[in-house]
Amino acid sequence: MAAADVHVSPRNRLLDCFDLGIDASAVAPATMRRIRIVGMASLAMCGLGILSIAQHWYLGATSVCVALVLAMAGALLNLELLRRLQRPIFCGHIAVGILTGILVFSNANSGGFYTPGFAWLYVVPFTAVLVIGPRGTWPWLGAVLAITLGFWSAHEVGMELPNMVPAELRPAHALFNRVTTILGLGLVAWSFVSGQRRAGRQLARANVELRREAAYVQLLEHAATAANEAVSLEAAMTEGVRRLCQALGWVAGHIYVVNEEGNLVTSDLFHDEEGHAFEAIRKMTRTTRFAPGEGMPGRALASAQPEAVLDLATGGARAQVAKSLGMQAAYAIPVPVHGEVVAVIECGSRDAHSPNPRLLEVLQLVGIQLGRVGERTALQERLRQSQRLEAVGRLAAGVAHEINNPMAYVRSNLNQLHGEWKALRSEFEKLEALEASAARIEDCEDLLEESLEGVERTVSIVREMKEMSHSANVARDDANLGEIIEQAIRIASARAPLGVHIEVEAPPEPIQLVCAASQLRQVFVNLVANAIDAIGDEGTIRISSKANAGHVVTRFEDDGPGMTEDVREHLFDPFFTTKPVGQGTGLGLAISHEIVNAHGGEIRVQSTAGNGACIEVHLPVRDE
């Protein structure tokens, strides 16, 4: 939607001179209109004053000339005061007062009530209506009536005022006064009409801006509707492009999406208001991709701000094809989700456009509104995952409670049976028949040991499940991060092969945390143990901590085989493990994730298959 162009004529430029150098956009329109009227009236008074000075100089009335010069100087100073204060009503009263004063002085020196120049006083109320307004006119109307009665009564009681105009020049002086009075009234009328016409033009421009702003509001409503009704980000963008083109009169739209490499690639989401009129653009777009900063879509991706090309003749090959099909301008609108641009909407228009920062602001809001659909769906997915985990947690707590009691007496019975078996074996050793049954005895011992191992494993799983269920209920106190890491390394490194080396980079200064030290030690033990298992017989684990802006980041890096994308996605799911059956419960990292979240932190994973892994634990530092 192109803005309406307003033609500026030389006459309008002349009227701009009465702005007195004031920025009209920073002043209310009604106030600016009165400022211009006061300026026009004051300068018109100065122009007539110059003619009056010349006439009175010719008549020899030097005192009137001096008074007129002072009045003109006062009028100019009043304009400067108006420019500084921007109070047209106050300065309008000053201007009318100067005019009234010079007219009273002039009439007092030219014969008073019955001279032609006395008619100039009747200009005062008209001037007051123009520069002050109807409500401010009444005091000056009363003043003119009082002055008129004063001059009239002075003549009636025989008080003759001196007429400094020579008798032979009085006819010319009378003609001059009548002509200038007519000119004065004409200037007053011209100022009023010019002010009204200018106000009309301002109102027309304001109406254009209002209609444009209404269209922008409607566009934002369309975007909000599309976002609220859509079940996915793709559906929201599709509907958003359609409504965008309809609201702004654009003819085509297309959506780019960001791939894993961070580049823009085409999607199948095209919108053509004219029914495949831009098929040539579609074909080129299907084979085009943009890196950040490359082309209009790439610039929008890199800056996360809407971009515009207002003259497609200056663009590349695609722009030239679009130009040949009748397009004049194009826009690129980024769609951010959680602050990261995930798609760019590209639209074209057949109309010529001029730079319009307000339109770009609205388009950015449209992109943000559409991006909230992605944020909403991600939040819903996290909520569903949280609900699933909550259900698993309740189930695990119930299972743990149900298993714990029978496992307790099964373990007790097995331990007692194992002790009794050892005692019986020592007695059997004295018998000669023991040699024939030695293999069977060994098998029984193996069965007992395996059963005990299985029970201990079940008890361990139950204990870990209970810890996960109650990870937020442990008291917290001040603790030194370095000491927690050292303790975790001592516990976990006991199972490390000789070829595995653990390197620790201590922070420059001790880092204090308010935490449950035993829980964090459990987190770090899990992370180090997992790294040892991932490396195998030979490799290096690097551990470092660094405080930054209220947070401390502890990094655990290893040069093991790394993780696939599927493993990264499920890494913190309960009971998920990549270890062989019998070697991992799949609860260690799930518990670690819950513990870190309960401390107000987060765990971040960086890893690709074949390139090792880096796990960062972000925790808030104690506020001194």
pLDDT at 11 over 50: no
Contact yes or no for 301/258 (Cβ under 8 A): yes
Closest CA relative to residue 127, chosen from 110, 115, 141: 141
Helix 438-469 vs helix 357-428: crossing angle, to nearest 10 = 150
* pLDDT at position 229: 72
* pLDDT at position 1: 40
CA-based end-to-end distance of the chain: 55
Thinking of the domain 477-620, which architecture would CATH place it in? Answer: 2-Layer Sandwich (3.30)
pLDDT digits 0-9 by tens, 496-531: 788 888 888 888 788 888 888 878 888 888 888 888
Task: Give the lowest-confidence range in 351-355, 419-423, 478-482, 546-550.
Answer: 419-423
Question: HSE of 439 in the Cβ direction (CA atoms, 13 Å)?
Answer: 1
Rounded to an integer, what distance in angstroms lies between the CA atom of residue 469 and that of residue 397? 7
Average pLDDT over residues 319-343: 87
Contact yes or no for 66/113 (Cβ under 8 A): no
Give 576-585 contacts, CB < 8 A, sequence gap 24+: 579/533, 582/457, 585/460, 585/461, 585/464
What does the CA dihedral 303, 307, 311, 312 come to, rounded to 10 degrees? Answer: 80
Rounded to an integer, what distance in angstroms lies between the CA atom of residue 404 and that of residue 398? 10
Q: Give the type of residue at 527.
A: L
Contact yes or no for 272/251 (Cβ under 8 A): yes
Task: Give the lowest-confidence range in 205-214, 314-323, 548-557, 580-589.
Answer: 580-589
> Which position has the higher pLDDT, 8 or 203?
203
Helix 481-492 vs helix 517-535: crossing angle, to nearest 10 = 40
pLDDT digits 0-9 by tens, 442-471: 667 666 677 777 677 676 666 655 554 555
Closest CA relative to residue 200, chosen from 385, 374, 6: 6
Task: Give the lowest-confidence range in 89-93, 206-210, 309-313.
Answer: 206-210
| pLDDT category of residue 383 using cuts at 50, 70 and 90 | low
Helix 588-598 vs helix 438-469: crossing angle, to nearest 10 = 20
* pLDDT at position 3: 38
pLDDT digits 0-9 by tens, 476-486: 788 888 888 88
Q: Give the type of residue at 123.
A: V
Domain 230-355 and domain 477-620, same fold? Reply is: no
Contact yes or no for 457/491 (Cβ under 8 A): no
CATH 2.130.10.10, domain 230-355, yes or no: no
> Beta partners for 254?
270, 346
Question: HSE of 416 in the Cβ direction (CA atoms, 13 Å)?
Answer: 6
Contact yes or no for 524/550 (Cβ under 8 A): no
| Residue bearing tokens 């301002």 | 202
Rounded to an integer, what distance in angstroms lies between the CA atom of residue 537 and that of residue 499? 6
| Residue bearing tokens 């990870």 | 471
Q: How is residue 273 written in tokens?
A: 């208001």
> Which position has the higher pLDDT, 64 or 368?
368
Q: Label residue 78 left, alpha or beta by phi (over 0 means left) and psi (-120 to 50 means alpha).
A: alpha
Most confident segment among 140-149, 268-277, 449-458: 140-149
pLDDT digits 0-9 by tens, 336-373: 988 889 999 988 888 888 888 888 888 888 888 888 88
> Beta partners for 257?
265, 343
Rounded to an integer, what distance in angstroms lies between the CA atom of residue 191 and that of residue 174? 25
* pLDDT at position 554: 92
Rounded to an integer, what distance in angstroms lies between the CA atom of residue 609 and that of residue 565? 8
The sign of the torsion formed by the CA atoms of 105, 109, 114, 115 equals negative
* pLDDT at position 334: 93
Contact yes or no for 57/65 (Cβ under 8 A): yes
pLDDT at 12 over 60: no
pLDDT at 158 over 80: no
Rounded to an integer, what distance in angstroms lies between the CA atom of residue 202 and that of residue 223? 31
> Which position has the higher pLDDT, 136 or 301?
301
| Annotated domain spans of the chain | 10-207, 230-355, 386-469, 477-620
Closest CA relative to residue 505, chosen from 540, 473, 530, 464: 540
* pLDDT at position 34: 76
Contact yes or no for 609/563 (Cβ under 8 A): yes
Q: How is residue 206 written in tokens?
A: 């304001």
| β-bridge pairing 264-272 and 252-258 | antiparallel
pLDDT at 384 over 80: no
Closest CA relative to residue 589, chosen from 581, 600, 577, 601: 577
* pLDDT at position 389: 61
The sign of the torsion formed by the CA atoms of 502, 508, 512, 513 equals negative
pLDDT at 36 over 70: yes
Average pLDDT over residues 370-398: 70
**In 163-279, which ranges are E strands?**
252-258, 264-272
Q: How is residue 56 written in tokens?
A: 């009175």
CA distance to 79, 282, 381, 565, 587, per residue, from 568 (Å): 74, 37, 17, 5, 15
* pLDDT at position 500: 87
Classify residue 560 as exposed, middle or buried by CB count within 10 Å of its CB (0-12, 13-18, 19+): buried
Rounded to an integer, what distance in angstroms lies between the CA atom of residue 514 and that of residue 477? 5
Q: Give the type of residue at 601.
A: G
Beta carbons within 8 Å of 362's beta carbon, 6+ residues apart: 216, 219, 220
| pLDDT category of residue 617 using cuts at 50, 70 and 90 | very high
